[in-house]
Each structure stands twice: as C-alpha cells, then as structure tokens.
Structure 1
C-alpha cells in the first residue's frame, strides 16, 4: 500500500522567485535613459553624483521592478498559459504576495522620488501611474497593440531621460532634450512590439490585442522595424540641423547596424525576435548616448 503526501502550499515567497518577479534584466533601459538625461542636461555633475545614483536606482530596480511585479500579478492568468514556470503561476510567489510586493514597491518608488525634488517626484508619479495603467483593470492599456507598447516605450526611455535632465538641471530641460528623448521613446514602441512575440499564444487566448496578434508576426515585425528606424532618422536630421555632423554620422552608423539585424529578424520574426532584442536594442541604446552627448550644450534651459 502506497501513501501519497500532498505538499503544503507555500506561505512565504521564495527569495529567488521574488528577485525573478522584478526582472533585473529589464532594468537596464530606464537606467540607461536616466544617464542619457543626466548627460544631455549639460550640467557639471560635481557634487551631484548622489542625485545621479539615486535616480538610476529609482528608474531601474525600484520603478521598473515595481512595474514588472504589477504586470506579473495582473498577467498571472496569461502567464499560466504562456510561461507556467513564472513565480506567481508556479506558486513560488504564493497567494496575493505578488500584489503586496508591487504595492510596497509603489510606496518605495514615491518615497525615493520625493528625495529628487519636485521634478523627480512628479516624474515618479507619472511613471507609477503609467505602470498600473498598463497592467491593471479596468484601464489595462496592455490590451491595445498601439497604446500599450507606446506607453511602455515612453516610460522606459523618454520619461527617465527627461527626469535625469530635469533633476540635474533643477528645472525644465531645453527643447532639444525634450524632442530627442521623445523620439527615442517613440522608437521604443517597436522594441516593445517585438517583446510581445513571446506571449503570442496566451495573448490570443486572453484577448490581448498586441500587434503580433492583430497583424500577424510578419507584418508586426515590419511595423516594429519602421517604428524603430524612423525616429532615429529624425534624430540624425536634427543633429545635422543643430550642427552636430559627427554625432549624426555615429547615430547613422548604429542605425545601419540595426538595419542589418532587421534583415535577419524579418526572415523569421517569431524565432528571431529574442535575438534582435539582444542585438539590435544594444545598438539602439548606443545611439541614445551618442545623441545625449551631441545635445549637451543645447540642452540647458534658456
């Protein structure tokens, strides 16, 4: 006679699962964008390294980590189909712990943002609101293949870039900073669209109308490539207009590298999307820093 023992459900989250919940791999883009903002502000960093470090921590581990925890909690039913080994559907983050972690990090985000002055706190409020609007009902902008990736792109690139410049300059950045930050945020819509390829099956079943679902993988990949490329072409044109030809040439070079990677992507969008997100995106963010250095002397508020 054999006896089967049923494992007791967890009461506390696994530490490793809690770390996976806030996805450290996703922290880099907003941290990098905040640094781009600090560079583009055109302000000496002497004596302000604490603001730079605190802003980088806020943009990456705290606000971005919070957004990932909120997204995983709100997506737990989709993840049970797409990736059942994730922390919440697998039970390693039991009960409502995913929600409590997201809420606690929301409070932490606001507390740290308060330390960055009115511009930093205001930007933190916007970032926190965007994170919940993207994932949570009844808003859940993630359901839209246009609004969802657009909101994430602006939140990951434009908002931290603007925040870094505003905090360092203690005021509103100049228009060149605002325009370039907005263009790179718009281009990031394409990156977010490619990121949606990994959830294609679950999104179809749960009614999430991502572009890969509504357009199909091939057309969605082509749209994503154009959305990434056109804002960078605009940046190149602006840098030429502003008298920065060498920086414009450098951005053009990284765009050419992306174009070569896009050709590989379009041969097999579903299979190559993760590869492109590791290859083409690094070129994309390299161009961001080049542009940040280009507009340093243009970015000071008048």
Structure 2
C-alpha cells in the first residue's frame, strides 16, 4: 500500500507545457504547481476541517441507496429491522465508501493536484501519511460495524477493501483503464452493497431476482462512472489515465454512458415484466423515458453537461433501482 514518493521524472518537466496547451490559466497553473509540491511533502499534517472533504460525503449516497434497495428487495418489514438497516447504511457510506475515497485520494494525489488542486492532500491540509491513518481508522471501524451485523458481513467488507485497493493502488490500479476501473466501482458501490443489504436482513442466499438486479445495476453504473470522469480529462491526459472520455473522446463517451445506463434499466424492467409487477414496470418505464431528452442534451455538449446530467439524469436511474427493488419483493 504505497504510492509513488516522487513525480515521474519523464513527465514532470512537460507538465507546464501541457497545462498551457490545455488552456489552463496562469493562476491555476501556479496553484497546480504548488499542489504538486504538496502531495509528497514529508511529515504528518492534518487539519480537522479537511477530514470530511477527504472522505467525499457526496459519494456516499450510491452504496447507501444500494444497500437500502437490497433490504427492500427482500420484502422483509423495515420496522422490525431498522437497526440492521441503519448500521448497514452507515457501513456502506460513511465507512466503506469513505474509506475507498481516502485510499483513492492517496494514490491519486498527483492527478488530483492537476484536476482538483484544492483537495485536502494537494492543498497541503492533510499529508499522505495522515491520509493513511484516516483510511485504516475507517477500515477498522467498518469491520467492527460489519461484525455487529453478521460475521459474514465482515468478509464482504474485506472484499470491499480489496476492491478499493485494486481500483486505486498498485499493482493492479484498475482505474488507469476506464473499462476495468469503472466496472470495479460499479460492482462495489451497487452490486456488493445491494447484496449485502439483502443478506443482512435474511442472513441467507439472496433471491435470483435480487442477484440479477444487483448485477444489472452494477453494470449500468459503469455509465455513471464514465460521466464522472469528464471532470478529470485534463489531468487524465497528462498523467496518461485511460478513462473512457480520454479513450473515446467526450461525445462517444457520453453516448456509451447513456446506452449502458439505458440497457441496464431495460434489462431490469424485463425482470419486472416476468414478475408481472405491472405498477412498478410502468414507473420504471416512465423514469427511463424521462432520461432520454436529458441524454440528448448531454450528448450535444458532454463537456459542459456531464456534471449536470450526473446530478439530475442519474437521479432518475437511482430512483429506478428502488422501484425495481420494490417490484421483485415476494
């Protein structure tokens, strides 16, 4: 679990030129250069106010929601299982997802210095050694909460840690290729969290329908992650991170993301049809149709609209997850 301590010598001299060629302003170039110096400074620094931003609370919602979807899909009463639901949601979001974010910020600190120089590590508010202390604290706390739910959930949490390291850290560092990296994140944030929610309530093997939906929405999340990569195109180009927008170009990446998300929802709706759950089928279809004009806007101007679509269009996708979870209940 160790990142590079120095910038790659064959890349460092050309960063200024590449930033200028990318149209980065002079003031931002200075901020980036300072951030690149900060990320590998020795010593231990930690500003308490920077801990929460390091854990990126905005990213916690998808796994928390997926865990809740897994719970709902079982058909078990929520009132009598509220404690498991609460602990599971905390485990999925403020602990395991936060852990994956702090780990990612450690390994991605040089890329973040270019894309987001105000992040806690590039800004110098938290040193790389302090970020690891926070990461291990989240892992240990997560294991304790998982144990309180069920011993098997500890094993699932351990798999989550391994997936986070495979995504961000050496030797795999799957995020260097968007096809693999996005798949790992989708499986971890949606599939693993969904199935954990189902298992935590029933403490048995999830139904075939809930396993199918967990996989389907995990694959669809590949599109969400592609849209998330639009904000990092400049740094990814410089650091040779092969995200989907870098590999395909922004317009093709936007088309791909939209198609993947739509196909996932169509597959989920087909399960509802087989279950003859007509009300939820109609709701899921309405949510899908509502996304289509928004996707048209996204594809027309992906560079500017990716963040907008991730905020609003993706919300409809996420709502469809819960609709489908309710639709397969026994």
With structure 2 as the length reference, what TM-score do the two structures score?
A: 0.85
Q: How many angstroms does 1:103 deviate by?
A: 2.0
Give a deviation string over 1:180-212, Cα, whole Å, max 9, x none. Answer: 111111100000000011111111111211111
1:169, 1:282 → 2: CA distance?
28
Q: Is the 8 A contact 2:226 2:257 kept in 1?
A: yes
Match of 2:81 among 11, 35, 48: 48
**1:2-13 alignment to 2 at 5 Å?**
11-13=44-46
Match of 2:269 among 223, 236, 240: 236
Residue 82 of structure 2 is aligned to residue 81 of structure 1: no
Residue 82 of structure 2 is aligned to residue 65 of structure 1: no
Answer with 10-19 or 26-35: which moved more. Answer: 10-19
2:309, 2:96 → 1: CA distance?
25
SS at match of 1:130: helix
State the partner residue of 1:215: 248
State the partner residue of 1:21: 54
Q: Is the 8 A contact 2:224 2:310 kept in 1?
A: yes
Q: Structure 2 unaligned runs (5+)?
A: 1-41
- In the TM superposition, structure 1's runs of 4+ consecutive aligned residues that sit over 6 Å from their partners are none
**1:30-179 alignment to 2 at 5 Å?**
30-179=63-212
Answer with 99-108 or 181-190: which moved more. Answer: 99-108
1:220, 1:193 → 2: CA distance?
7
SS at match of 1:99: helix
Q: How many angstroms does 1:119 deviate by?
A: 3.4
Q: Is the 8 A contact 2:106 2:131 kept in 1?
A: yes
- Aligned-pair Cα RMSD in Å: 1.3
SS at match of 1:296: coil
Q: How many angstroms does 1:46 deviate by?
A: 4.0
Q: Is the 8 A contact 2:43 2:129 kept in 1?
A: no
SS at match of 1:115: helix
1:115, 1:235 → 2: CA distance?
32
With structure 1 as the length reference, what TM-score do the two structures score?
A: 0.93
Match of 2:320 among 287, 297, 302: 287
